[in-house]
A and B are shown apart, each in its own frame.
Chain A
Amino acid sequence: MSVEGIGASVVRKEDKRFITGKGRYVDDVRIHGMTYAAFVRSPHAHAKVKRIDPSEALKMPGVVAVLNGQQLADDKVGNLICGWMIHSKDGSPMKMGAWPAMAPETVRFVGQAVAVVLAESRNQARDAADAVVVDYEELPVVADVRAAIAPGAPQLHPEAPGNIIYDWVIGDEAATDAAIKSAAHLVSIDLINNRLVPNAMEPRAAVADYDAAEDHYTLYTTSQNPHVARLVLSAFYNIAPEHKLRVIAPDVGGGFGSKIYIYPEEMVALWASKKIQRPVKWTADRTESFLTDAHGRDHITHAQMAFDKDHKIVGLKVKTHANLGAYMSLFSSSVPTYLYATLLSGQYVIPNIHAEVISVYTNTTPVDAYRGAGRPEASFLVERLMETAARQLKVNPAELRRKNFITQFPYQTPVIMAYDVGDFNASLDAAKKAIDYDGFPARKAKAKQEGKLRGIGLSCYIEACGIAPSKAVGSLGAGVGLWESAEVRVNPVGTIEILTGSHSHGQGHETTFAQVVADRLGISIGQVAIVHGDTDKVQFGMGTYGSRSGPVGLTAIVKAMEKVEAKAKKIAAHQLEASEGDIVIEDGQFKVAGTDKAIALPMVALAAYTAHNLPDGMEPGLKESAFYDPTNFTFPAGTHICEVEVDPNTGKTTFINFVAADDFGRMINPMIVEGQVHGGLAQGIGQALLEGTVYDDNGQLVTASFMDYTMPRADDLPSFNVSHTTTLCPGNPLGIKGCGEAGAIGSSAAVINAITDAIGNDNLVMPATPVRVWNAVHAKQAAE
Chain B
Amino acid sequence: MHETTYHRASSVDEAATLYAKGSEARYLAGGHTLLPVMKQRLASPSDLIDIAKIKDLVGIEATGDTLTIKAATPYFDIATSATVKSAIPALAYLISLVGDPAVRHRGTIGGSIANNDPAADSPAALLALDATVKTNKRSIKAGDFFKGLFTTALDDGELITAVSFPIPAKAAYAKFPHPASRFALTGVFVAKTKTGDVRVAVTGASQGGVMRMPAIEAALKANWSASAIDGVTVSDQGLMDDLHGTSAYRANLIKVMAQRAVTAAG
Contacts and interface: CB of A to CB of B under 8 A. Distances in A.
Decide whether A and B assemble into one complex: yes
Interface of A: 123, 126-127, 130, 287, 649-652, 690, 692, 694, 702-703, 706-711, 769-771, 774-775
Contact of B253 (A127, A650, A769): A650
Given A123-B1, A774-B252, A650 B176 contact: yes
B246 interface: yes
Contacts of A694: 243
Given A708-B243, A710-B179, A770-B179, A650 B256 contact: yes
B155 interface: no
B222 interface: no
A694 B243 CA distance: 9
Given A127-B2, A650-B253, A703-B243, A769 B179 contact: yes
Contact of B243 (A126, A652, A702, A706): A702
Given A287-B40, A707-B181, A649 B256 contact: yes
Given A649-B256, A771-B246, A707 B180 contact: yes
Given A703-B243, A770-B249, 18 more contacts: A126-B41, A287-B40, A650-B253, A650-B256, A651-B249, A690-B180, A694-B243, A706-B180, A707-B181, A708-B244, A769-B179, A769-B244, A770-B176, A770-B244, A771-B244, A771-B249, A774-B249, A775-B246
Which applies to chain A's interface (DSSP): helix, strand, loop or mixed? loop
A123 B3 contact: yes
Contacts of B244: 708, 769-771
A412 B257 CA distance: 55
Nearest to A287: B40
Interface in B38-60: 40-41
A702 B179 CA distance: 15
Contacts of B185: 770
Nearest to A708: B180
A771 B245 contact: yes
A708 B181 contact: yes
Among A652, A694, A774, the one with the most B-chain Cβ atoms within 10 Å of its Cβ is: A774
A702 B244 CA distance: 12
Give the top 10 A-B pairs by smallest Cβ distance, nearest first: A710-B180, A710-B179, A707-B181, A771-B249, A649-B256, A771-B245, A708-B180, A774-B249, A707-B180, A650-B256
Nearest to B1: A123
A646 to B, nearest CB: 14
Contacts of A703: 180, 243
27 contacts: A123-B1, A123-B3, A127-B2, A130-B41, A287-B40, A649-B252, A649-B256, A650-B252, A650-B253, A652-B176, A690-B179, A690-B180, A692-B243, A703-B180, A707-B180, A708-B181, A708-B243, A769-B179, A769-B244, A770-B176, A770-B179, A770-B244, A771-B246, A771-B249, A774-B249, A774-B252, A775-B246
Contacts of A774: 249, 252
Contacts of A130: 41
Contacts of B245: 771
Contacts of A652: 176
A317 to B, nearest CB: 33
A291 to B, nearest CB: 13
A541 B239 CA distance: 56
Contacts of A769: 179, 244
Nearest to A716: B179
A283 to B, nearest CB: 14
Among B2, B180, B245, the most chain A Cβ lie within 10 Å of the Cβ of: B180
Interface string B235-265: 0000000011110010011001000000000
A702 B246 CA distance: 16
B159 to A, nearest CB: 27
A130 B44 CA distance: 13
Interface string B1-25: 1110000000000000000000000
B145 to A, nearest CB: 25
Nearest to A711: B180
A607 to B, nearest CB: 58
Interface in B179-232: 179-181, 185
A690 B177 CA distance: 13
Contacts of A126: 41
B42 to A, nearest CB: 11
Nearest to A706: B180
A770 B243 CA distance: 11
Nearest to B180: A710
Contacts of B1: 123
B177 to A, nearest CB: 10
Contacts of A702: 243
A90 B21 CA distance: 73
A710 B244 CA distance: 10
A597 to B, nearest CB: 62
A703 B179 CA distance: 13
A707 B213 CA distance: 27
B214 to A, nearest CB: 23
A174 B126 CA distance: 69
A710 B243 CA distance: 11
A709 B180 contact: yes
B2 A123 contact: yes
Contacts of A771: 244-246, 249
Contacts of B2: 123, 127
A706 B179 CA distance: 10
A704 to B, nearest CB: 11
B127 to A, nearest CB: 23
A775 B246 CA distance: 10
B241 to A, nearest CB: 10
Contacts of A287: 40
Contacts of B246: 771, 775
